[in-house]
Amino acid sequence: TYVVTDNCIRCKYMDCVEVCPVDCFYEGENMLVIHPDECIDCGVCEPECPAEAIKPDTEPALENWLKLNADFAKVWPNITQKREPPADAKEFDGVPGKLEKYFS
Ligand code: SF4
Ligand code: F3S
């Protein structure tokens, strides 16, 4: 599966939603997650994310992010259409430690 990681938080560009063939993104207030049981590993979302927040779970040290994606995909609503990203999305691109400060 692919997973959404830290840099999505408060960037939330939603370009990923437009390209996913199985609509497996779920929406929180400040970020999206991927449902690991629904993702078919096609990989098309990874290069579409302007924040480079999407990674294959074969990359090292992503266990915590995989768990976060799995847990919140169960409770957040499905998102199938891109909307306007946050007006200040660019200011948050690359800010470290967003999970601790801004996650919701
Ligand atoms: Fe969707 Fe493919 Fe990305 Fe999985 S890898 S979330 S199926 S676009
Ligand atoms: Fe987040 Fe990138 Fe999608 S910032 S909402 S994973 S396009």
Domain boundaries, the chain: 2-79
Amino acid at 53: A
Residues 64/69/75/77 CA torsion (nearest 10 deg): 160
What are the Cα distances from residue 12, in Å, to 5, 26, 77?
11, 12, 15
Amino acid at 70: A
Summarised one tens digit per residue, pLDDT across range 39-72 is 999 999 999 999 999 999 999 999 999 999 999 9
What is the model's pLDDT at position 25? 98
CATH 1.10.760.10 for domain 2-79: no
What are the Cα distances from residue 8, in Å, to 65, 103?
12, 10
Cβ < 6 A, ligand 1 pocket: 2, 19-20, 22, 24, 34, 39-45
Looking at the predicted structure, is the pLDDT value of residue 14 above 90?
Answer: yes
**What's the ipTM?**
0.98
The CA 43 to ligand 1 mean position distance, Å, reads: 5
Query: Whole-number mean pLDDT of the chain?
Result: 97
Summarised one tens digit per residue, pLDDT across range 85-99 is 999 999 999 999 999
